[in-house]
Amino acid sequence: MANDRIEGIMRDCLKALAAKDIDKVLSYYTEDGDWTTSEGVFKGKTELRRYLKWMADTVKDPTVTVCGNGIVVDGNRAFVEHKIGGTINGKKVEYLAMCAWEFVGDKVQHTRTTGDRLLLAKQAVNGWFPKMIVNSIISQSEKGLH
C-alpha cells in the first residue's frame, strides 16, 4: 500500500480517537488486531472496544495533535509522534506519545503506544496524599539530576 494511503488512514484513525468514535476506530483494525499500551495488551476487537470505551470514559474533551517527527511510513510499518490532551479528574492534561503501527493491507494489525504516564499522573492527580506520592516518585527518579 502507498505511504500516503497509510498516512491518511492513521490521520483518520487519530481523528476518530479524538472524536471518541469507537466504531470508526475499530473499523481500521483487523479482527485479530492488537494494541499494546502502558495499561496492557488488548487483543481482538472485543478487547480493543473495551480499551477504547475506557479511554472515552476517562478522558474528557480529548485531543490528538501530530507533532515533532509527525507520521513516518516505511512499507507496512509506520510511526507517529503526537501529543495527547484532554481533561482527567477535572484537570487539563497533555503529554507526548509515540505509536508504532503495523498494517496488513489497509487495516491495522498491531499498535504499540508509549507515553509519559508519570507526567500524566502529575497533571491529573487530586488530593494531597496522591500528590505527595507522585511527587515522591518523581523526586526519587530524578535524584542527582538537578
- Total structural domains within the chain: 2
Containing 1, the helix (H) or strand (E) segment is: none
List pLDDT tens digits, range 17-41. Answer: 999 999 999 999 999 999 999 999 9
- The residues, ordered by sequence, that sit 6+ positions from 98 with a Cβ below 8 Å of its Cβ are 79, 80, 81, 82, 113, 114, 115
9 and 74 share one domain: yes
User: Given this model, what pLDDT does residue 145 score?
Assistant: 85
Report the CATH number at residue 38. 3.10.450.50
78 and 34 share one domain: yes
19 and 50 share one domain: yes
Residue that is written with C-alpha cell 507522585 in the block: 134
Model confidence at 136, in pLDDT bands (50, 70, 90)? Answer: very high
Residue that is written with C-alpha cell 487539563 in the block: 92
81 and 142 share one domain: no
27 and 46 share one domain: yes
136 and 111 share one domain: no
Whether the predicted pLDDT of 9 surpasses 80: yes
135 and 100 share one domain: no
Domain span at residue 136 reads 116-146
44 and 99 share one domain: yes
Whether the predicted pLDDT of 137 surpasses 80: yes
- The residues, ordered by sequence, that sit 6+ positions from 113 with a Cβ below 8 Å of its Cβ are 35, 36, 37, 38, 97, 98, 99
34 and 89 share one domain: yes
List pLDDT tens digits, range 56-101. Answer: 999 999 999 999 999 999 999 999 999 999 999 999 999 999 999 9
82 and 105 share one domain: yes
32 and 84 share one domain: yes
Model confidence at 1, in pLDDT bands (50, 70, 90)? Answer: low
